């Protein structure tokens, strides 16, 4: 993927997409747009016209009427407009009304058949397309969605990070898993990525901290659901902010410089990075030692016909590690995830050893 980002018209290095979760009425759209434009006249105005609800019977959007309200509000305030499309029929309707940009929702990104249909419906049409990550942390599915539009000739592509579904209670509506964004940027550094902080947070409490983290990771911008009267919103009222609250969030964000500039500081940075490299080498050497011990243990299990998984032992390891994490002030979830990965690798190695032994025995 190869992109030039001038078409985004980024101000101060960042793009802002704001507007209600759903277009509910002409008045709601216009009043919201005016409130946003008062502080952010170059914002991109968003609203959903078709809402993919988990269960039927809830507000499912205003359809084509919503598109008209969105377009009219954008025209009156001078803002470009963007809406979600999930079918070729949505694309056709939005194009006929003159919506400026489209985004593909997380549920749609997870279905390659639908993404392909959308991409083909836009063949030869020069319009920006934003693709949200799928519901689950599948990096290749996300990239695949972007590639399907690229193959149909779309050059103005943007990825939207909106977090990932998880069963565990993390405090977020959708877990950020920033490492997948880092992986995406590493594979495609030219691709703009913006953060949908509303869908990660699920409420207004965490919006600022998520937005700041997105800025700290040097993402290209934010998508923030904004409603003239959030409490009366027909969809996702808990995660929407008013235009005044939007201004408070964005105006208080700190934009970092991209690199160190002073020579003296750079020297310190170089010394610290050398020390970090040395620690990394020691970590890898310790992992090699641990793997060697795991293999020795696997041989003993094989020789004595003992099962690979020992739940009590695993529980003891985790409990000890959590105690040490607390003692040293480390993030316990971080430590848990590290040892989960190590344990998974131990199970894989020992399972392979037992399987290879069994296959050899059968051949004999």
DSSP state of 256: P
Statement: residue 249 has pLDDT above 70: yes
Residue from 60, 96, 80 nearest 19 by CA: 80
Round to whole Å and give the CA distance between 19 and 47. 6
Over range 156-164, report the average pLDDT: 97
Phi, psi of 324, deg, nearest 5: -65, -40
Over range 203-218, report the average pLDDT: 94
Two tokens, residue 323? 């105690």
Q: Mean pLDDT lowest for which of 168-177, 202-211, 341-350?
A: 168-177
Round to whole Å and give the CA distance between 87 and 93. 10
User: Which residues does residue 195 pair with via DSSP β-bridges, in sequence order?
Assistant: 161, 222
The β-bridge relationship of strands 80-84 and 221-225 is unpaired
Angle between helix 311-328 and 332-363 (nearest 10): 150
In the chain, residues under CATH classification 3.20.20.70 are: 6-251
CATH class of 6-251: alpha beta
In the chain, residues under CATH classification 1.20.59.10 are: 265-363
Contact 181, 196 (CB under 8 A): no
Rounded mean pLDDT of the chain? 91
Statement: residue 3 has pLDDT above 60: no
Statement: residue 360 has pLDDT above 80: no
The confidence score (pLDDT) of residue 168 equals 67
Over range 79-86, report the average pLDDT: 97
Residue from 275, 276, 335, 345 nearest 308 by CA: 345
The residue written with tokens 């040892």 in the block is 339
Q: What percent of the chain has pLDDT over 70?
A: 93
| pTM metric for this prediction | 0.80
Over range 16-33, report the average pLDDT: 97
The confidence score (pLDDT) of residue 220 equals 93
Statement: residue 223 has pLDDT above 90: yes
The confidence score (pLDDT) of residue 42 equals 87
Q: Does domain 265-363 have CATH number 1.20.59.10?
A: yes
The confidence score (pLDDT) of residue 152 equals 95
Contact 71, 100 (CB under 8 A): no
**Continuous segment of H or E residues that includes residue 274:** helix 263-303
Over range 282-293, report the average pLDDT: 95
Statement: residue 57 has pLDDT above 80: no
Q: Mean pLDDT lowest for which of 115-124, 327-336, 351-360?
A: 351-360
Round to whole Å and give the CA distance between 168 and 237. 23
Over range 119-129, report the average pLDDT: 95
Statement: residue 192 has pLDDT above 70: yes
User: Which residues does residue 362 pair with via DSSP β-bridges, in sequence order?
Assistant: none
Round to whole Å and give the CA distance between 270 and 286. 25
Can you say whether the dihedral through the CA atoms of 259, 264, 266, 271 is positive or negative? negative
The residue written with tokens 């997105």 in the block is 214
The confidence score (pLDDT) of residue 10 equals 57
Q: Mean pLDDT lowest for which of 20-24, 164-168, 298-302?
A: 164-168
DSSP state of 159: E
User: Which residues does residue 131 pair with via DSSP β-bridges, in sequence order?
Assistant: 104, 159
Can you say whether the dihedral through the CA atoms of 136, 137, 141, 145 is positive or negative? positive
């Amino acid at each position: 993927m190869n992109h030039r980002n001038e078409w985004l018209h980024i101000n101060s290095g960042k793009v802002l997409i704001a507007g209600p979760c759903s277009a509910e009425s002409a008045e709601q759209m216009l009043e919201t747009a005016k409130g946003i434009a008062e502080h952010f006249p170059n914002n991109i105005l968003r609203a959903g016209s078709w809402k993919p609800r988990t269960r039927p019977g809830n507000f499912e959007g205003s359809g084509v009427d919503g598109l008209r309200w969105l377009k009219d509000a954008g025209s009156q305030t001078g803002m470009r407009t963007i809406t979600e499309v999930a079918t070729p029929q949505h694309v056709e309707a939005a194009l006929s009304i003159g919506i400026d940009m489209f985004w593909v929702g997380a549920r749609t990104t997870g279905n390659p058949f639908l993404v392909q249909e959308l991409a083909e419906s836009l063949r030869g049409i020069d319009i920006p397309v934003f693709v949200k990550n799928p519901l689950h942390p599948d990096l290749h599915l996300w990239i695949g969605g972007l590639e399907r539009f690229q193959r149909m000739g779309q050059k103005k592509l943007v990825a939207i990070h909106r977090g990932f579904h998880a069963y565990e209670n993390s405090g977020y509506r959708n877990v950020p898993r920033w490492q997948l964004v880092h992986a995406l940027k590493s594979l495609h550094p030219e691709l703009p990525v913006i953060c949908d902080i509303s869908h990660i947070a699920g409420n207004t409490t965490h919006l600022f901290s998520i937005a700041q983290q997105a800025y700290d990771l040097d993402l290209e911008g934010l998508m923030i659901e904004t409603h003239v009267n959030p409490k009366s919103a027909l969809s996702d009222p808990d995660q929407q902010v008013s235009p005044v609250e939007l201004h408070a969030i964005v105006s208080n964000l700190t934009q970092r410089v991209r690199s160190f500039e002073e020579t003296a500081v750079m020297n310190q940075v170089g010394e610290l990075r050398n020390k970090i490299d040395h620690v990394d080498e020691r970590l890898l050497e310790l992992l090699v030692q641990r793997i060697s011990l795991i293999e020795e243990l696997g041989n003993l299990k094989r020789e004595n016909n003992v099962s690979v998984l020992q739940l009590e032992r695993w529980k003891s390891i985790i409990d000890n590690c959590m105690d040490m994490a607390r003692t040293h002030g480390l993030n316990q979830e971080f430590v848990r995830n590290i040892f989960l990965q190590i344990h998974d690798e131990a199970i894989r190695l020992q399972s392979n050893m037992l399987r290879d032994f069994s296959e050899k025995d059968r051949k004999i």
